[in-house]
A and B are shown apart, each in its own frame.
Chain A
Amino acid sequence: DTAVSQTPKYLVTQMGNDKSIKCEQNLGHDTMYWYKQDSKKFLKIMFSYNNKELIINETVPNRFSPKSPDKAHLNLHINSLELGDSAVYFCASSQDGQGHNEQFFGPGTRLTVL
């Protein structure tokens, strides 16, 4: 069984479009995250939710909006896509947002903006 799943795995779209990436975890975890990995492989936190409540918003443009309908899901909506948004986006989850609990990562979504 997949612990953290993301859909789609690949997304190719035109500049200016709006797109969403879905994330689901079946681990019963309370905390979920979105990370962005750029073309140089650098990984950086974008958002964190704990029990559907936004905990971290790391100076991400407001074109990015996370939505958590329940604690098993954390979706990422991106409006007015720009070339610089091209990256791999990873969803992750952990038990209770404490450091002694492992963060489990999804397989990533490669977003290409043309």
Chain B
Amino acid sequence: AQTVTQSQPEMSVQEAETVTLSCTYDTSESNYYLFWYKQPPSRQMILVIRQEAYKQQNATENRFSVNFQKAAKSFSLKISDSQLGDTAMYFCAFMKPYNTDKLIFGTGTRLQVFP
């Protein structure tokens, strides 16, 4: 069974600085998808970024980028130029395609951005 581990329950960063959230996963699959979701205090789940395992290039979405290390089964999220609105819970998630499409989530990292 696949598992997702986020070893940092809480992180903090100053506005405009860069922060990296860690995620590791365990799977025997070679093809899969990885995601980072953001959950602000409003509770809404928002997709931040997605990585397809067969793509070597790391995904990037504006200030958000990932460091995907397939051999190490590591999928970290880097947030550059942190903003107060980035304060939220961040969840790493795994999906094995063509197999019911369920997301398997990590336990989350609470990120606080300070002014």
Tell me the bound Cα distance from A70 to B32 in angstroms. 29
- Whether A100 lies near B102 (C-beta < 8 A) is no
Interface size class of A (residues with CB under 8 A): 20 to 34
Mask, B11-39, CB within 8 Å of A = 1, is: 00000000000000000000011000001
- Whether B47 lies near A99 (C-beta < 8 A) is no
- Whether B100 lies near A55 (C-beta < 8 A) is yes
Q: Which residues of B contact A33 (CB under 8 A)?
A: 102
Q: Which residues of A contact B104 (CB under 8 A)?
A: 45
Q: Is B89 an interface residue (CB 8 A)?
A: yes
Tell me the bound Cα distance from A64 to B110 in angstroms. 30
Interface centre among A44, A98, A103, by most B CB within 10 Å?
Answer: A103
Contact status of A100 and B33, CB under 8 A, knowing A40-B107, A41-B108? yes
Main secondary structure of the interface of B (DSSP, over half): loop
- Whether B102 lies near A99 (C-beta < 8 A) is no
Chain B residue nearest to A35 (CB atoms) is B103
Main secondary structure of the interface of A (DSSP, over half): strand
Q: With contacts defined as CB atoms under 8 Å apart, how many contacts are there between chain A and chain B in the complex?
A: 62
Q: Is A43 an interface residue (CB 8 A)?
A: yes
- Whether B101 lies near A99 (C-beta < 8 A) is yes
Tell me the bound Cα distance from A103 to B105 in angstroms. 13
Query: B interface vs A, CB < 8 Å?
Result: 32-33, 39, 42-47, 50, 52, 89, 91, 95-98, 100-105, 107-108
Q: Give 15 new A-B contacts, CB below 8 A, not counting A97-B100, A102-B50.
A: A41-B89, A41-B107, A42-B105, A44-B105, A48-B101, A48-B102, A55-B100, A56-B102, A98-B97, A99-B33, A99-B97, A99-B101, A102-B47, A103-B103, A105-B44
A-B contact pairs, 19 of them (CB 8 A): A31-B101, A35-B103, A41-B39, A41-B89, A41-B108, A45-B102, A48-B102, A55-B101, A58-B102, A92-B45, A98-B98, A99-B52, A99-B97, A99-B98, A99-B101, A100-B33, A102-B50, A103-B47, A110-B43
- 8 nearest interchain CB pairs? A99-B97, A105-B45, A99-B33, A97-B101, A45-B102, A43-B105, A99-B95, A108-B43
